[in-house]
């Protein structure tokens, strides 16, 4: 298995294949998202992070996931509409994935094999990936996008 996520290809919410190598040289904040979760309001904070740091090399990547409490049952088109109209999301959203279990997406298989190892425990868990494609930090769902520890970690990767 590769030491970076750059060799993994994902599918955009519109159905296009997107190699993560397209993001080489950028820091990534990868988040499993859901529309009907107690943490759904984090979309707004993720969008603010994206707006503040995108020009400095941060990409926020949202992966809808229905693995936790069936809190993302909708089809991609409805998810995209919800995110843009309710939270003004402009960061990239992708096809719905499994973050755990037998059908775990290869991206999440890779993310969860990096220290600290272990399954994603709920919606809105965040993985910070360096500009070289290595997972450098992981934040549980309760760590909000405006959390000083998350912002400090992002800034360490960017500056």
Q: Which of 58, 136, 61, 67 is nearest to 91 (CA)?
A: 61
| Residues 30/127, Cβ–Cβ less than 8 Å | yes
* CA atoms within 13 Å, Cβ hemisphere of 9: 5
Provide the annotated active-site residues.
37
Q: How far is CA 99 from CA 38, 46, 68, 122, 151, in A?
A: 18, 19, 9, 9, 24
């Amino acid at each position: 298995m590769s030491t970076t996520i750059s060799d993994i290809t994902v599918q955009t919410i519109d159905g296009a294949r997107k190699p993560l190598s397209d993001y080489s040289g950028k820091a990534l904040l990868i988040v499993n998202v859901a529309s009907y979760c107690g943490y759904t309001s984090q979309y707004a904070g993720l969008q603010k992070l994206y707006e503040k740091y995108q020009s400095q090399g941060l990409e926020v990547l949202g992966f809808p996931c229905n693995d936790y409490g069936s809190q993302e049952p909708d089809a991609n088109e409805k998810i995209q509409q919800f995110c843009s109209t309710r939270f003004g999301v402009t960061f990239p959203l992708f096809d719905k994935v499994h973050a755990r279990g037998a059908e775990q997406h290869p991206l999440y298989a890779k993310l969860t094999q990096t220290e600290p190892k272990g399954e994603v425990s709920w919606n809105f868990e965040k993985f910070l990936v360096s500009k070289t494609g290595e997972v450098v930090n992981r934040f549980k769902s309760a760590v909000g996008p405006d959390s000083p520890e998350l912002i400090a970690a992002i800034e360490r990767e960017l500056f």
